[in-house]
Structure 1
Amino acid sequence: MTDKELMLKGELYDPVGDPQLKEDFMRARRLTRIFNSLTEEEMERRMEVIKELFGGTGEHVHVEQTFHCDYGSHIYVGEYFYAN
């Protein structure tokens, strides 16, 4: 069983030892860095990045900066979601 499979089952896993988890983690770091660097005038781009980062979102989603997560792809939010 891979470390990613163990993680998804809620069991102990090694996040550094699994190449897929490392790739997913680095993807989330890259996207959160991009998101956190965008200005208020770039709201449309900020939402594009969040929609790429999260596993699923509704149409009306607002996330305040500064935002951090480990993987992002396991985050699902619905309509009219707001996080600060």
Structure 2
Amino acid sequence: MKNELEKCMAGEWYNCHDPIFLEFKRKARSLLAAYNALPYDEKEQKRKILEEMLGGLGTNVSIGTSFTCDYGRNIYLGNNVSINMNCTFVDCNCIVVGDNVLIASNVQIYTATHPVELAERLTPNWSPESGEYFCRTYALPVAIGDGCWIGGGAILLPGVHIGKGSVIGAGSVVTKDIPENSVAVGNPCRVLRRINEKSDSALYPLD
């Protein structure tokens, strides 16, 4: 029988008030408070906090303050990643960011979600004494491929994958996967045109 963490990572309904998640949140909030309080030029100390908080951290990574995340442990960042100020990563499931990625200010990435149908969304026979959340929650991973640029204020919804080399326009709401080497904009976000046609083989050589 799966525990609540295993259910969460499998994309199934889980109890987000289980003690293990409350401990994840407690630790992340403590580390975030320390991180966001540091001056801009305290690079070494910021790196130490990120190494303790995140699931994976590449080289040459910058995260502007303030930064907010849920657990931290489910965020995996590649090499040469720039995350600008006021970004929010709700990492109840994995958020995986590739190499050479730009994420502009005020970007929001969500992995947690709830059933649309009210009868499914509400937890049956819920009571304050149950220790559960009053509504059902599940979480789906989000992935951003190598060489992407996510424009300011964009929102990435649970389960979406952004293909390598793609650009997401400012203010877009990404509700489904975006293919590689595309400019995609709008709400809902749609592919506008292809890019990187001439340089794709040089940027991403075959293995």
TM-score where L is the length of structure 1: 0.90
How far is 1:65 from its partner?
0.4
User: How many aligned residue pairs are there?
Assistant: 83
User: 1:9 maps to what in 2?
Assistant: 10
Max radius of gyration: which structure? 2
User: 1:79 maps to what in 2?
Assistant: 79
Residue 82 of structure 1 aligns to a residue in which SS?
strand
Q: What is the percentage of aligned positions where both structures have the same residue?
A: 34
User: 1:61 maps to what in 2?
Assistant: 61
List structure 1 segments (4+ residues) > 6 angstroms apart after TM superposition: none
Residue 15 of structure 1 aligns to a residue in which SS?
coil
User: 1:31 maps to what in 2?
Assistant: 31
Counterpart residue type for residue 12 of structure 2: E
Residue 46 of structure 1 aligns to a residue in which SS?
helix
* Structure 1 CA distance for aligned equivalents of residues 47 and 28 of structure 2: 15
Instruction: Calculate the aligned-residue CA RMSD, in Å.
Output: 1.0
**Structure with the higher helix share, 1 or 2:** 1
* Structure 1 CA distance for aligned equivalents of residues 38 and 81 of structure 2: 19
Q: Deviations over 1:4-52 (max 9, x none)?
A: 1111111121111x22111111111111111011111312111111121
How far is 1:57 from its partner?
0.8
TM-score where L is the length of structure 2: 0.39
Gaps of 5+ in 2: 85-207
**Structure with the higher strand share, 1 or 2:** 2
* Structure 1 CA distance for aligned equivalents of residues 55 and 35 of structure 2: 16
User: 1:42 maps to what in 2?
Assistant: 42
Counterpart residue type for residue 69 of structure 1: C
